[in-house]
Structure 1
C-alpha cells in the first residue's frame, strides 16, 4: 500500500487532506483514483488506512478507515551534527532517519564553513521522504541551524551525551554504554576538522563523555551515522 505523509492538522474528524507535493505525486505520478486505498502517517507514530474520495493534482481528500500504531524507533536518539560542507548534511539526515535518529540539530561550530541558511526546510523534506521509504510512522525533528552553545542547551536533558572526539584514546563508545540504560541519548559530531579544544572543554563541562570510535579517523558524514548505528545496536538489538 502506498505511503504518504500528512502535515499537522491534515487529519481531523475522520477525514484526511493532502496537498502540495504529496497530492501531486498521488494524483499525477501514481495516477491513483477515488476509491483507492493508501496508508497515511501523521508523524506522531500513527498509521491511517485511507480510502480516497476526491483526487486532484493540488488537493486530495480521503476517509480514514482504520488507525493503528506504526513502527517507531526504540530509543530517543539525538544527533548534533556540526554543519559540513556541500550536500553532506543531506545524506546524514537521510541515513540517520533510516537508522532511527529522532532529532537532528545542525550546529554551527568554529570549523563550520558551510552556508546553511534556508537549508533546514530541504533537510526536513529529505527526512520525510526517508521516513516513508523505511516505513517509520514518526517523523524526525530537524531544527534550524544553531550555535554549538545552543545545541548543548537543547540536549541538556538527555540521559547520556556522547562526544565523538579523535583526541580520546581510552573510552570507547561501547564502554560508555556498558550497563547503561538511557532512554534519551545525544551524539555530538564535529564538522570537517572536528571540534576545536574550546568546544571539547565546553561539551565536557556540560556533562558530555568523550568517546572514540576506533583508531581510524572517520569523515564527518560517516562518524555520526556509524555512532548512531552502534548506539542503537548496543542499547536495543543486542539486549533483546
Structure 2
C-alpha cells in the first residue's frame, strides 16, 4: 500500500492538493496518473482513500473517496532522550521507535550532553517517513529540545509512571518490573556520558523511579529502543 501524509485533511475534506515535493514524487517517481488511487493519512488516526484528479507535478489534485479510522496505541509512551553526538543515531532511534509504537519524543539537554542543537525540521521528516513506511496513522509528537531540569519539573510529567534509566551502580529496579499495562509512562534516557549524579538525584526527588534496562551497557539510542520495545511488549 502506498501511503502519503498531509496534516491538512479531515473527515470533511473533498479534495486536496499536494505540495510540490509530494506532487513530484506522485507524478514523476511513482508515475501515477488520473484515476489512480492511493491512501493518505493526516497523522491523527485516519486513513483516506484518494483518487488522482489532476496529475500535475507542481500540485497534484486528488479527491477523497472514503475515510477509515485506525485504533490508537493501547498505551501512551513518552521518551525524553538526550540527542546523540552523531545525529544519524538519534534519527535511527526516532525511525525505529515510530515503527514499534511511541506517542511522544522530547530531546533533553543534560549535563553531559555533547550535542545541544537539534534539527527539528529534519527530525519531523524522519518521523513522517517512518510513519508512512510502517503504515501507521498516528504521527508521534516531537517536542522542542528542553533542559533536563525543565522537563523533569514540567506539567508533562504529571499523572504518569515516571522512570529514569541510568548506568550508575545504585539501587535500581528492572524497567519491566515497574511497567503497568495501559498506563501512561515517561522514560528518561541520558546522553553518551550518562546522567550526572545530580540529575539522577533531582529526578528521584521529582518522583522518577531509577530503572535498569539489563546487564549490558547500552548506547543512548539502543537504550531508548529497548525501553520503547519493553513498553510495547508489556501492552501486547
Deviation at 1:209, TM superposition (A): 0.6
Which residue matches 1:65? 65
Contact 1:78 1:186 survives alignment (8 Å): yes
Cα distance in structure 2, aligned partners of 1:48 and 1:74: 22
Alignment of structure 1 residues 72-111 onto 2, 5 Å = 72-87=72-87, 88-111=89-112
Cα distance in structure 1, aligned partners of 2:36 and 2:127: 26
Contact 1:6 1:17 survives alignment (8 Å): no
Q: 1:176 aligns with which of 175, 178, 187?
A: 178
Runs of 4+, deviation exceeding 4 Å: 9-12
Question: Residue 11 and residue 20 in structure 1: after superposition, are their counterparts in 2 closer, same or farther (change >3 A)?
Answer: farther
**2:195 is equivalent to residue 195 of structure 1:** yes
The Cα offsets for residues 82-120 of structure 1, whole Å up to 9 and x where unpaired, read as: 111122211111111111111110011111111424x01
Deviation at 1:22, TM superposition (A): 1.8
Which residue matches 1:37? 37
Cα RMSD (Å) of the superposition? 1.7
Deviation at 1:58, TM superposition (A): 2.3
TM-score by length of 2: 0.92
Question: Residue 182 and residue 72 in structure 1: after superposition, are their counterparts in 2 closer, same or farther (change >3 A)?
Answer: closer
Cα distance in structure 2, aligned partners of 1:206 and 1:20: 47
Structure 2 runs not aligned, ≥5 long? none
**2:47 is equivalent to residue 47 of structure 1:** yes
Cα distance in structure 2, aligned partners of 1:123 and 1:32: 28
Cα distance in structure 1, aligned partners of 2:6 and 2:15: 11
Contact 2:109 2:116 survives alignment (8 Å): no
Structure 1 runs not aligned, ≥5 long? none
Cα distance in structure 2, aligned partners of 1:31 and 1:105: 38
Alignment of structure 1 residues 217-236 onto 2, 5 Å = 217-234=217-234, 236=235
Cα distance in structure 2, aligned partners of 1:213 and 1:70: 31
Contact 1:49 1:66 survives alignment (8 Å): yes
Deviation at 1:12, TM superposition (A): 5.0
Question: Residue 150 and residue 24 in structure 1: after superposition, are their counterparts in 2 closer, same or farther (change >3 A)?
Answer: farther
Contact 1:71 1:136 survives alignment (8 Å): no
Is the partner of 2:68 in helix, strand or coil?
strand
Is the partner of 2:18 in helix, strand or coil?
strand
The Cα offsets for residues 186-207 of structure 1, whole Å up to 9 and x where unpaired, read as: 1100010111011111211221
Cα distance in structure 2, aligned partners of 1:85 and 1:154: 28
Which residue matches 1:18? 18
TM-score by length of 1: 0.91
Cα distance in structure 1, aligned partners of 2:146 and 2:20: 28
Deviation at 1:20, TM superposition (A): 3.7
The Cα offsets for residues 127-167 of structure 1, whole Å up to 9 and x where unpaired, read as: 00000011110111111211112322153224211110112
Cα distance in structure 2, aligned partners of 1:225 and 1:208: 19
